[in-house]
Amino acid sequence: MSRLRFFLSLLAGHWATYLTGSMMLAATLWMSLAIPRLLQKAIDLLGRSPAPQGEDFAELIGWILGFAVIIMVTRTFSRMMFFTPGRRVEFALKNRLLKHLSLLGTDYFSANPTGSIISRVNNDINGIRMTMGFGLLALANSLATLSLAPYYMYVISPRLTLYSLVPVAVGVGVLLIGVTRMRSHQFRQMESLQELSDFVVESYNGIDAVKSHQAFSWVENRFDRHNGDVMESQVKIFQMRALFMPVLNNMVNALKVMLVLVGGLMVVRGEISPGNFLAYLLYLSMMLPPLMGLTFLLFVLQRGLTAADSILSILNTPPAYGPGAPQAEEALRGSIRQGIQVNHLTFAYPSRPDKPVLNDVSLNLSPGEIVGVFGPVGSGKTTLVNLLNRYLDPPPGTITMEGQPLQSISVGLWRAKVVTVTQDPFLFSDTVRENIQFGAGGEPVAEEVMQAAVRAAQLEADLARFPQGLETQVGEKGISLSGGQKQRIALARAMMRPCELLMLDDPLSAVDHETERKLISTIYGFQHSRALLIVSHRVSVLERANRILVLEDGRVTAQGTHQALIAQEGAYRQAWRLQSEQHPPGGTSIAEGAHGSHS
Amino acid sequence: MAVTPKANVSTRRAMLQTLVWPLVRNHRKTLFLAAALIPLSALTAMLVPYLTKVALDEYIVPAAGSGRVEEVSGPLGVIATLAGLVVLAEYVIDALYTATLQRASMAMLTDLRGQVFRHTLRLPRSHFDRNPIGSILTRVTSDFEALIEGLASGVLSLVLDAMKMAAYLGAMFFLNWRLTLLVLLLAPVLVFLIQYFQERVRHWFFKARFALSEATGYLQECLNGMKTVQLFAAENLVLQKFTEKNHQFLHAQNKSNWYDALLFSLVEGITSLALGLMLWYAAGEILTGLITLGVLVAFMEYIQKLFLPVKEISQDIAVLQRAWSGLEHIHHLMNTPPDPAQVPERLPASGIIPSGGPARLTQEPLETVTFDNVGFRYLPDGPPVLSGVSFSLRAGGMLALVGATGSGKSSLIRLLTRGYGGYTGSIRLNDRELSTISAQELARWISVVHQTVFLFKGTIADNIALGNPTLTRAQIEQAARYVHAHPFIEQLPLGYDHPVAPGGGNLSAGQAQLISFARAVAAGAPLIVLDEATASVDSMTEQWIRQGLDSLYQGKTVIAIAHRLSTVRHAGNILVMDKGRVMESGNHQQLLAQQGLYAALVGTLQQEDRP
Ligand SMILES: Nc1ncnc2c1ncn2[C@@H]1O[C@H](COP(=O)(O)OP(=O)(O)OP(=O)(O)O)[C@@H](O)[C@H]1O
Ligand SMILES: Nc1ncnc2c1ncn2[C@@H]1O[C@H](COP(=O)(O)OP(=O)(O)OP(=O)(O)O)[C@@H](O)[C@H]1O
Ligand SMILES: [Mg+2]
Ligand SMILES: [Mg+2]
């Protein structure tokens, strides 16, 4: 979308308001410009001998007072009629941005950190709003006043007006330079402030590490650098402002001085009346606000244009996922029979295109099947999960559902069928209930379903100890929960919706064996027709899977049941040895006994 | 937060004394210069209309239409030159005034911002539980924007505008006191209206601010959790919530705009009214020669200039109030007592927390760690998270904590590292109560691997060293080798200089955990605390780590939390926790023999699978 079309699209629906506003504005301006004329007439009437007719004079005064009162009303409305659409545009644009952002993919978010997007949503939309409200008003106001006032002035005296136009032109020129220069500083200032806030947020997020390592001076030095940048850029702006802002005010004052000399002599020569002199003076004063408005307008307009660019850079980013093909999606109606296939999948992150993280991986996930994924740190397990849920974009043709290529299915439909519990689950700073309900994506959740999920995720005992139970606030990112509680809430969240493939990425790393055992039997017991993919380092989690995939350095090095894998040399068998040699014989019976006694 | 908290007189004074005054004192020279320019600026602003009046009354009007140009042009030239000089002076003074003032206020705020940030870093962890990071951030950013505005344009322009008004009024009285009084009749109306509308504007302005910060906070959370939002196809849910919050902002902002527009128009209208009224009254006096045309003209100029400052003053007041409420928030934050553990023993006279290196500490060797009947709750009215926990650990020993999830293991560690205070009972290191040991000292005794991994933006080496300048690259590498992180780091194109994405986004979960582990090893304290330090790591790597650490742990003291037997079985003493209590303790063999909770928590492999 081009800038012009963008602004036009914003204006759509507000034309009537702007039009009424402009009419109000025109009325206001006409009246306020009439007042000096009226004053001039009144004064010249006073200066005339014999004494003026009382009625004429009273009538003039009456007009002045009347206009003054009407102006208050029309001025108010004219301002509102310009500001309100600006605000509405801001409102609509914010929603539109979030909506669009929610269509964008990982690449976008890793290139644009949260802080910079927020600053666009707040500052840049502000820039647009100002353009659409204040900017347009200033434009109408300045254009009208600056064309009418000089006209009236010209009527009084062409020569004087020519004299005044030269300094005005010079003054506006100087200001223009100032505004242009200011713009780059302004940009730098916003940037440095952004960097500062990003840094501050990061420091607070890592506060535990900072404290326990007493890394204060490291953090503080970095902060001071950012803080110094902010100061420097701000001071530059202030200096420019100090230099350029008083220019107009002083220029108008200079014009008045010139008027005293040139206009005064004209009065002496009898070329203009004293009343005219006075009206001229008033017009000069009246030029000041629109002139200031004009420079302000230039400033706003410039800001609006850059803001539009920056916002368009979001809106013009194509959604990460294309629409689905209708025939392909038709094949997915109802439940799935063939499942999901991964065919010779090779994948590298864009930051390291030379080093594939997954290498020729093939895999079949049939309905009702449980597939375990095992592999050392960094072997590509999470990457595989993220490709299957389309958080990452797999190469075309490598993943199919029901025989239909992944790219031919809309992401909405895909994700209705595939649910993931991520390795580092994100919780919202809301209640436990809201966090679990979130899994239903806004659909209402029946209380029994909620209770069943809570039970299945072994959360009952924890919730019983929270004074507010399900309504307990979990804090930012779940800060007031224990590691295992977070994981289990994420698990409950994933149970809110039926799906065709459930993927659990190391879902039990922070829970004890006892809880793990109960969770596994629920998870495995939950299994009906959907496929389950479960990633873990623990043999105890994987052993009941129908098939276990061993990933090493991005390659599938072995595949088979638990029994088959422990019968052959390899990473899986090694791990199984290590994990089981730590368990004394007879562990099972003890566990069973303890289980009965304490839960 | 929606409304400005009303501070009483004593907190106001405290605020001025502790926050504002030290800043003002540090920059008093510049501020004094700016203040000295104020009367000059007011004087120059008053002079041009007055000179115009003189020119009109003395030269122009008497000679109007007479054509005696030669007579008048000389004096008019002089007046114009004078006025021209005044205008020039006005420009120079205004520019100088603005520049000095704003530079000073910016410097003051940069100082203050640094202090506030240093303070927030040292706030107790509980503060971060209750206050979202976004709102603490507001203290350091938006509140400061308001303050900058307030200091840079609020305080002194208030004085300047008041002075200008005084100058105009003085000149007007001097020219014609009766006309001045007449104009002043309108003043109470004007002041009342401005007061009323300004108050409404402010009220809605604060509401709008609050709504905006809510909406922004929510947006930030959505963006941080965008992956979760998308994976759960919850886009519409999130959008709906966001729209609601936005709508509140729109509503408040509209209200505020209405009052603002009314205020603007009123001031403009009343100025015109005043002009009309004045003319009406003056008509009689001009005829009788009591008022000259020059006086009338000067009055018109003055009235326009007079009413402008009235409006500006009310705006200044609004800006100041905003700044004031920002200051109050900051004051409130600065008055939140810092974590006692994080405060260096002796503060320098200025009260500013130094940014320098660690103070010199006497380093006695760590001999024992003792918990004596320790109890703890996060909130005074919350459930007990720990109760009656007692144990004692000698240097060189290893203590393991096992327990169901949520049983209070991490909480116990947070107490030991002074993440939280306010426990009951006693925690001692070498017979020194924990509360008497500063965090700096503590950091030399204890290094921790936290359960939640956090990596900073920066290189891998940065993240391992975490600002410790004494660590060499070789030491960093050594630490990474101990925890078996070296092999994967080595394979990265930039090795230890590999840039870590914020939050560790471009590493696998296990790799991030290894780096956080290496960080604790590099710190090299005699007591190492591991809170599930290998939860996301595979068994082989874990074994390598254990081998690496076995040599490292020689003579060191270890507290380890783990669900995995591999980690805990070697511990000399194992505490089994449930619901905040120690249920069993002893070594591996003893506990297994008890056939209680421990056995249940750590061992569930199926019998038939054993080799
Ligand atoms: N965003 C990214 N950009 C570049 N490289 C990445 C990114 N995310 C992960 N990697 C790299 O890809 C490899 C595989 O990572 P992945 O997260 O899939 O491992 P994993 O098997 O899940 O490991 P873990 O058991 O530690 O969770 C790792 O070497 C990691 O450093
Ligand atoms: N900041 C906090 N504010 C309030 N309650 C908290 C906070 N942190 C933890 N809790 C609560 O205290 C209890 C103990 O939590 P803790 O993190 O110590 O458990 P844990 O034993 O480490 O569990 P896990 O093995 O799951 O990590 C939990 O019920 C948790 O909800
Ligand atoms: Mg992973
Ligand atoms: Mg924990």
- The gap between the terminal CA atoms of chain A, to the nearest Å, is 62
Averaged confidence pLDDT in chain B:
80
- Distance between CA atoms of residues B424 and A200, nearest Å: 33
pLDDT for B149-174, tens place per residue?
A: 776 666 767 777 788 888 888 888 88
Under an 8 A CB cutoff, do B236 and A118 touch? no
- Phi first, then psi, for residue B559 (nearest 5°) are -120, 120
pLDDT for B431-456, tens place per residue?
A: 888 888 877 788 888 888 888 888 88
CATH code of the domain made up of B9-334: 1.20.1560.10
- Distance between CA atoms of residues B265 and A236, nearest Å: 34
- Distance between CA atoms of residues A43 and A305, nearest Å: 47
pLDDT for B353-375, tens place per residue?
A: 444 334 444 567 888 889 999 99
- Phi first, then psi, for residue A361 (nearest 5°) are -95, 130
Residue B341 has pLDDT above 80, yes or no: no
Q: Which H helix or E strand runs over B413?
A: helix B409-416
B551 contacts: CB under 8 Å, gap ≥ 6: none
pTM for the structure as a whole: 0.81
pLDDT for B77-114, tens place per residue?
A: 888 888 889 888 988 888 888 888 888 888 888 888 88
Q: Within chain A, which residue ranges are assigned CATH 1.20.1560.10?
A: 85-315
Here the tokens at position A278 are 């006075």
**What's the mean pLDDT in B49-76?**
82
Cβ of residue A178 lying under 6 Å from some atom of ligand 1: no
Residue B354 per-residue DSSP state:
P
Pocket test for ligand 2, best of B411, B412, B452, B582 (most atoms within 8 A of CB): B411
B407 contacts: CB under 8 Å, gap ≥ 6: B577, B578, B579, B580
Percentage of chain A beyond pLDDT 90 is 7
How many angstroms does the Cα of residue B234 sit away from the middle of ligand 4? 29
Region of residue B458 (left: phi > 0; alpha: psi -120 to 50; beta: else): left
What residues pair up with B577 in beta bridges, in sequence order? B403, B582
Q: Note the pLDDT of residue A224.
A: 92
More confident residue, B142 or B255: B255
Beta-strand runs (E) in B20-125: none
- Residues of chain B in contact with residue A393, where contact means CB-CB under 8 angstroms, are none
Nearest to A482 among B136, B272, B406 (CB): B406
- Distance between CA atoms of residues A353 and A356, nearest Å: 7
Average the pLDDT over each of B155-169, B182-196, B335-349 and give the range with the smallest value. Answer: B335-349
Tally of CB atoms within 10 A around A374: 28
Residue B24 has pLDDT above 90, yes or no: no
Q: How far is CA B92 from CA A250, B29, B95, B99, in A?
A: 10, 19, 5, 11
> CB-based contact (8 Å) between A540 and chain B?
yes
Is A591 within 8 Å of A512 (Cβ atoms)? Answer: no
More confident residue, B598 or A47: B598
- Distance between CA atoms of residues B418 and B416, nearest Å: 5
- Residues of chain A in contact with residue B74, where contact means CB-CB under 8 angstroms, are none
- Distance between CA atoms of residues B537 and B548, nearest Å: 15
Give the nearest chain A residue to B103 (CA atoms): A235
**What's the mean pLDDT in B249-278?**
84
For helices B509-523 and B473-482, what crossing angle results, to 10°?
120
| Residue among A299, A248, A289 nearest B91 (CA) | A248
Tell me the ligand closest to B378's alpha carbon: 2
- Residues of chain A in contact with residue B109, where contact means CB-CB under 8 angstroms, are 231
In this prediction, residue A146 has a pLDDT band, given cuts at 50, 70 and 90, of confident
Interface test with B, best of A257, A409, A520, A589 (most B CBs within 10 A): A257
DSSP string, B410-440: HHHHHHHTTSS---EEEEEETTEEGGGS-HH
pLDDT for B280-305, tens place per residue?
A: 777 777 667 667 777 777 887 787 77
Percentage of chain B beyond pLDDT 90 is 4
Tell me the ligand closest to B402's alpha carbon: 2
**What's the mean pLDDT in A288-306?**
78
- Distance between CA atoms of residues A138 and A141, nearest Å: 5
B582 contacts: CB under 8 Å, gap ≥ 6: B388, B389, B390, B391, B575, B576
In this prediction, residue B396 has a pLDDT band, given cuts at 50, 70 and 90, of confident
| Residue among A544, A358, A263 nearest B59 (CA) | A263
Which atom of ligand 1 is nearest to B538's Cα? Answer: 25
How many angstroms does the Cα of residue A349 sit away from the middle of ligand 1? 9
Region of residue A15 (left: phi > 0; alpha: psi -120 to 50; beta: else): alpha
Is B420 within 8 Å of B126 (Cβ atoms)? Answer: yes
Q: Note the pLDDT of residue A304.
A: 84
Average the pLDDT over each of A192-206, A290-304, A345-359, B439-453 and give the range with the smallest value. Answer: A290-304
Residue A586 has pLDDT above 50, yes or no: no
Residue B347 has pLDDT above 50, yes or no: no
**What's the mean pLDDT in B474-488?**
89
Residue B608 has pLDDT above 70, yes or no: no
Distance of alpha carbon B138 from the chain centroid? 5
pLDDT for B557-580, tens place per residue?
A: 889 888 777 777 778 888 888 888
Under an 8 A CB cutoff, do B532 and A517 touch? no
**What's the mean pLDDT in B126-131?**
78
Q: For domain B368-609, which architecture applies?
A: 3-Layer(aba) Sandwich (3.40)
Superfamily of segment(s) A85-315: ABC transporter type 1, transmembrane domain (1.20.1560.10)
Q: Which CATH class is domain A326-426+497-568?
A: alpha beta
Q: How far is CA B43 from CA A251, A281, B294, in A?
A: 18, 21, 20
Q: Within chain B, which residue ranges are assigned CATH 1.20.1560.10?
A: 9-334
Residue A547 per-residue DSSP state:
E
**What's the mean pLDDT in A187-203?**
82
Q: Within chain A, which residue ranges are assigned CATH 3.40.50.300?
A: 326-426+497-568
